Structure 1
Amino acid sequence: MTDEFHDNAYAGLLVNDAHWAFGTDFEDPLAGVDTAVPDGVDPNALAAYCLMLGDDALVLSQRLSEWCSRAPDLEEDIALANIALDLLGQARLLLARAAAADPGIVPQLPDGSPVPDEDRLAYFRDDREFLSVRLAEVPNGDFAETIARILLFSTWRYALFQRLSGSRDAVLAAVAAKGAKELAYHRDFAGRWFVTLAQGTEESRRRLLAALDGLWPLRAELFDTHPIERAVADAGVGVDPAQVQDEAEAVFDQVLAAADMERPDRAPLAGVQGRRGRDGSHTEALSRLLGEMQVVARAHPEGRW
């Protein structure tokens, strides 16, 4: 690999970010970057949009981290951990951007708490305040299901970030430019494994078909345009996900063709009274995930590690 591959398109956003976790570094992750909300942009809409993309990454990162020490072999164990860390890095910056755009969304903690804004948003919101898509939150299942989920998620998010790199918002543009490079790897990793499992044994193909069939109803939500997404797209700072569907579909169809598989015939998963992940309506799996993820932070809101 070349040094160019590792160029950090938003190096100015990160300060000592190599080992970020709750309480380890209280430097401003947006230091040196123009965080002013662009003219004509609603700060509340920008913050909500950043929460959507940040929550997607945070929740899926938590899910993928559950594979640590449990993957089929060491190489895949490390690969899944690296994908989780990439998404965690994206989540940190997007949540920090949300807080900078609209400080009113940041949960209040006891006076003197050292917890930075992005950590407050990660650890001190309830499930109904999370705006992530439901594809990110469902339990892992087996390795085939994880591969199918990464492929569905990364083909969509890569296309989205490619366009988002032209955002009028300097922070979003920088996060997307770097994130697209990471997502290209995620997509390649999942695509290769998808084809390998499809062309492997009868059992690996059966498991992959079952995984794709089970996840397919959650896929449509990725491309459904929420009013917030439409508003930020009209303002030139966000992307309407419906506008990247054709691009994502083309890539996914190439993988399906290589795997000699067809699309499942499954209807989209309905919401609750029309509300879905972007509206704060989730499966029970998110509540359990957050309960485990947030327990230490909530027990020690003034903690420093």
Structure 2
Amino acid sequence: MSFDDDAYGALTDHADDARWAYGTGFADPLAGVPTAVPDGVDHADLATYCLMLGDDALVMSHRLQEWVTRAPELEDELALANIGLDLLGQARLLLTRAGEAENAGRDEDALAYLRDATAFRNVRLAERADEDFAHLVARLLVFSCWRLPLLDRLAASRDPVLAAIGAKGVKEVTYHREYAAQWVVRLGDGTDLSHERMRAAIGAILPAVGELFEPHEVETRLAAAGVAVEPSLLRPEFDAAMAQVLAAATLSTSPGAESSDRPATVDESTTQAGRGRDGVHGPELAEILAEMQELARALPGGVW
């Protein structure tokens, strides 16, 4: 910027600065990636699968941004904001792919802002409200320990777009898992109070874990076609990662411990009353969408 430039011109003249925002100046993560749906792949199934993964990221991202200004430290607010932006980026790519696959004229905005709750396909873990910071990091740990191996396997998908999204997402979600794990260990192996609150948070999340590994018929068909990931195959890696973190956080006990003394483990048995993949959600998702979609529905056709 020279002293002859006006301030507004300097802000908008960002061609030589890839760091600037306004949605430009960034490398397209899907540049050069073929967009044709692979032969033999059902377009409706691919669209639904992309909605599933995109909705997971979109709803989880919205929940994370609620903690900006509420986290314990400014550094954590920035970290959670960045994690939320990572997931929002994944959601945009996946919803765009869903729109391309269904070929019904809906773009990422229409899919994000103009669907009702029953049309969302996110797992119910993503929409849960967080009672406190311990609940937040417990939920983020479970979410990232599940999503990381999913994206890692998705990088080998026959669909080139999903493969590119998976490869990009692995780097992002690796950090998400590390951030959550550090806080779970810090609180679990901290004071008596932080230990008990972390134990309670992990326990509260466990009923939502089983849904993550229940195959949906769309996932099963696309997994057989080499496009999607069979959810049940992710369980061993998830259990191993969770066990490592819980042990470091002093939140695990010996198998012979009395049930009343046993802290939260990943061996849950509670069954959800309906699955998010089938469009069954709690009132929390409706509350999220009411806030997230308010402007788009108030100004139909608006572009910003």
Give the conservation status (yes or no) of the 8 Å contact 1:219–1:268: no
Matched residue, 1:98 = 98
Matched residue, 2:170 = 180
Which amino acid in the other structure matches residue 297 of structure 1?
A: A
TM-score, length basis structure 1: 0.85
Residue 240 of structure 2: which of 241, 250, 264 is its match? 250
Q: In structure 2, what is the Cα distance between the partners aligned to 1:268 and 1:37?
A: 38
Match of 1:104, SS state, is coil
Write the mapping of 1:272-287 to structure 2, written as runs, cut at 5 A: 275-287=274-286
Larger RCO of the pair (alpha carbons < 8 Å, separation 6+): 1
Deviations 1:132-165 (A, max 9, x none): 0000001122110000001000011001111100
Write the mapping of 1:150-189 to structure 2, written as runs, cut at 5 A: 150-189=140-179
Give the conservation status (yes or no) of the 8 Å contact 2:33–2:164: no
Q: In structure 2, what is the Cα distance between the partners aligned to 1:92 and 1:236?
A: 23
Residue 122 of structure 1: which of 96, 105, 112 is its match? 112
Give the conservation status (yes or no) of the 8 Å contact 1:35–1:101: no
Change (3 A) 1:41 1:86: same
Deviations 1:186-221 (A, max 9, x none): 000011111000011111111111111111100111
Q: In structure 1, what is the Cα distance between the partners aligned to 2:133 and 2:42?
A: 41
Alignment pair present for 1:210 and 2:200: yes
Match of 2:239, SS state, is helix
Percent of pairs identical after alignment?
54
Deviations 1:69-96 (A, max 9, x none): 1110101000000000000000000000
Q: In structure 2, what is the Cα distance between the partners aligned to 1:196 and 1:256?
A: 11
Give the conservation status (yes or no) of the 8 Å contact 1:50–1:98: yes
Change (3 A) 1:63 1:96: same
Matched residue, 1:191 = 181
Q: In structure 2, what is the Cα distance between the partners aligned to 1:17 and 1:44?
A: 37
Give the conservation status (yes or no) of the 8 Å contact 1:30–1:96: no
Give the conservation status (yes or no) of the 8 Å contact 2:57–2:88: yes
Matched residue, 1:60 = 60
Matched residue, 1:293 = 292
Q: CA deviation at 1:19?
A: 5.1
Q: In structure 2, what is the Cα distance between the partners aligned to 1:256 and 1:43?
A: 41
Q: In structure 2, what is the Cα distance between the partners aligned to 1:136 and 1:163?
A: 21
Give the conservation status (yes or no) of the 8 Å contact 1:133–1:278: yes
Give the conservation status (yes or no) of the 8 Å contact 1:29–1:93: no
Give the conservation status (yes or no) of the 8 Å contact 1:29–1:96: no
Q: In structure 1, what is the Cα distance between the partners aligned to 2:178 and 2:117?
A: 31
> RMSD over aligned Cα, in angstroms?
2.1
Match of 1:96, SS state, is helix
Name stretches of at least 5 consecutive residues in structure 1 with no aligned partner: 1-14, 107-116
Q: In structure 2, what is the Cα distance between the partners aligned to 1:82 and 1:50?
A: 22
Give the conservation status (yes or no) of the 8 Å contact 2:45–2:222: yes
Q: CA deviation at 1:104?
A: 2.6
